[in-house]
A and B are shown apart, each in its own frame.
Chain A
Amino acid sequence: MTVPTPIGSRRSGLPAWAVGLVAFVLLVGGVYAASNLAGENPPLVGPLPSGSAPGGGAGEALAIIESAGCQGCHGQDLSGSGSFPSLIGISSGPKSENLVSLAEEEPDNWIHLWIAGTDERTSDPAMRAGMPAFATDPYNLSDAQIDTVVEYLKTLQ
């Protein structure tokens, strides 16, 4: 036979200090939520981190830039070469005239669209002036890879 051995409690009500604490924490959370209603989430590029493979964001971006051959036109340090513009400081806007209107239309996404080259506003070969559309053959960069490169380029000052 199993005999119940209940666990009693000294009090059943809520202590005042607990009510105050909970109210304070809920207030802090509410203030945080209220002050973070506008914005855009960064892209989710994969599952939880499983290792510290050398690179992370910048390293991965540099590896993609190297394999895609960006430095062949934009210079080893991406500061531009000949007619090919510098990529430094593009977080504040495009360096080329032909991208100004795109940047006005898509202030948060114009770099991605330009690198990918699949959008109708960026796929015109004449507009691209020899710059490959990296989302297509033979480069086939994924959205995640392009986002990684974009995030890295935005850090160049």
Chain B
Amino acid sequence: MSIPQEAGERSQMTGNLKKLRPYDEPPRRGRALVPGGVDSAAGLWFAVAAVWLLLAAGLGLLWIGLRMLPAAFPEAMPEGLNLAFQIPIINWTVAFNDETVTSGFFAALVWGWLTNAAIAGIWYVTPRLTGQRLMTDTIANLALGLWNLGVLGSIAAAYVNELAQPGLLMEAPWWIDGLPLLGLTVVNLVFWRSVLPHLRGAYVSLLYMGLGLISLLGFYGLGALIELPFISLDETARFLAAAAFLRLVIVYWVVGAAVGALYYVVPRATGNPLYSSGLALAGLALWFVLGIGSAIGTLVDPTVPFAVTSLGSAATMMLVAHAFIVIANLFLTISGRWSLVLGTGAVGFAVVSLAFLGASALFDAVGALRGVQALVGRTGWSIGSLLFVTGGMATFAWFAAAEHGLPRILRRDWRATPLTDIQLWAVFAGVTVTGLSLMAGGLAEGSLRAAAADPAEIAATLIWFDVGAAIGFGLVALGALAFVLDFFLHYTSAPRADYALAPSTTPPATATDTAPATGS
């Protein structure tokens, strides 16, 4: 029960804020337009990556749906869905068909989800391994805008006949490519400026990520260069360049950055030191040298000497050694903490990523055999194999990095929830089913074509594999949704927590000062 007099006195003491004297008001704190706080770059890039994952999953569902249309409706849509309309005034034709949706899907998956997640992981790992804050989080966040606007432009260009260039992941014309190229240049600048003083004796993660970043900048730049108007390449040369570009991006950027993340997350999450730094560096050297050879193996054309292509195929097979080195090194690192593998924490995600790494390396090696190439060339096999690397190995590596890093970036009490279980199992099952369905469908298609089967028979057989792939994509979309929801709910409703520094995994002689600072 309130006492009016006391209430009146109280109200006079709290007062009307508008009547307070100026020096009683707290100073207005200006908010920067572009965030520049510690770990803001890592957090923002991860958040954008999560959105791209959802978009990529949706485009993937659309893509697989379009694949099934000709077989499902052979009379109404024998060539599949083929919509086109003209944009008035500029008279550009926007085409919506199997080819353009494929381009959009892979751009969203690789340039959108994987690249944003990889750069987020780099921003997270770099300060913790070098002991130095990023050169500037603000500029890193500016690069976020440049890169993602460019990727949106690239995806849009893939749908416009007058703009689209041939080749997966290379659809954007040179003037659209300029924007993401500028973003990549800024990212490289910030990274190398932060890392160069500490390059001597740098941990293997930084080496993988650094080489991946600089390679991506180089390849992306070259890819934009060959689209300049005064560079005239014939159709075959352009397709060869596109095939090599795709392989280089996958090996050096997608796989490289993801392996770098695994080398960071597994020791941190288990609390164990890495099994062998020498083994890690040997794997790095193998990967770096064989990657170029692997790209040469994609140059399958009469204009390229057969021996050269064969050496390239051999390099692809030898990359199995790199995969085995990474898997063995990290499994031996986990040794003694196997209980973590069974849960849905960072280690669980990392182990799934390693499984996909091994599987995709083996599939690539088998796919490099001449006989297999002749059978499954230009079928769904190559897309299934690509999905094992991108949707499997790399995606789970970034899930592991997110599971480990996001609680520390956002300073939230992060616990495994049913959404985490759905994320892991749905995406794992989805990618496995999709990849295997497409690869099996490729084998079936190749076999039927070799037997000169009737086109209707081929279509009737393939639709069942596409149905399997569609189910897989549905599971992946479910898992992606679970990831985004989990991220959102933890950010908005999890209690705040500050994480202690990781126990040093170095021998006591090199122990560092443990003043309270950003957690690792």
Contacts and interface: CB of A to CB of B under 8 A. Distances in A.
A interacts with B = yes
Interface of A: 1-15, 18, 21-22, 25-26, 28-30, 32-33, 36-59, 62-63, 152, 155-156
B7 interface: no
B325 interface: yes
Please provide the 5 A-B residue pairs with the shortest distance between their CB atoms, ordered closest to farther. A4-B131, A59-B455, A8-B506, A54-B459, A33-B314
The binding surface of chain A is classed by DSSP as loop
Nearest to A153: B452
B301 A43 contact: yes
B449 A57 contact: yes
Nearest to B461: A52
Contact of B510 (A8, A13, A41, A155): A8
B130 A4 contact: yes
B378 A58 contact: no
Interface of B: 38, 66-67, 70-71, 74, 78-80, 98-99, 102, 127-133, 166-168, 203, 205, 236, 239-240, 242-243, 246, 264, 267-268, 273-280, 282, 286, 300-302, 304, 306-307, 309-311, 313-315, 317-318, 320-321, 324-325, 328, 369-370, 374, 377-380, 382-383, 441-442, 445-446, 448-450, 452-456, 458-459, 462, 466, 501-502, 504-507, 510, 512-515, 517-518, 520
B342 to A, nearest CB: 24
Nearest to B305: A41
Given A5-B504, A9-B276, A48-B382, 10 more contacts: A7-B129, A28-B318, A29-B317, A38-B306, A41-B301, A43-B302, A51-B80, A52-B67, A56-B445, A56-B458
B328 A18 contact: yes
B501 A48 contact: no
B243 to A, nearest CB: 7
Given A26-B321, A56-B445, A6 B203 contact: yes
Contact of B501 (A3, A26, A32, A45): A3
Contacts of A51: 66-67, 80, 98-99, 102
Task: Determine which residue in A1, A4, A5, A155 has the highest number of CB atoms from chain B within 10 A of its CB, and name it.
Answer: A5
Contacts of B314: 29-30, 32-33, 36
A42 B275 contact: no
B441 A2 contact: no
Contact of B452 (A22, A48, A58, A63): A58
Given A2-B127, A47-B167, A54 B321 contact: no
Given A18-B325, A22-B282, A59-B458, A155 B517 contact: no
Contact of B383 (A5, A15, A48): A48
A3 B131 contact: yes
B313 A36 contact: yes
A28 B449 CA distance: 30
B515 A3 contact: yes
B298 to A, nearest CB: 9
Given A3-B514, A13-B278, A54-B78, A22 B306 contact: no
A89 to B, nearest CB: 14
Nearest to B311: A33
Contacts of A63: 455
Given A18-B325, A49-B380, A156-B452, A9 B80 contact: no
B301 A44 contact: yes
A37 B313 CA distance: 11
Task: Determine which residue in A8, A50, A58, A155 has the highest number of CB atoms from chain B within 10 A of its CB, and name it.
Answer: A50
A43 B243 CA distance: 13
A44 B276 contact: no
Nearest to B502: A5
B153 to A, nearest CB: 20
B279 A15 contact: yes
A49 B378 contact: yes
A7 B268 contact: yes
B244 to A, nearest CB: 11
Nearest to A59: B455
Given A12-B277, A25-B318, A55 B450 contact: no
A12 B315 CA distance: 26
A40 B306 contact: yes
B371 to A, nearest CB: 10
Given A10-B275, A25-B318, A53 B79 contact: yes
Contacts of B267: 7
A39 B455 contact: no
A22 to B, nearest CB: 5
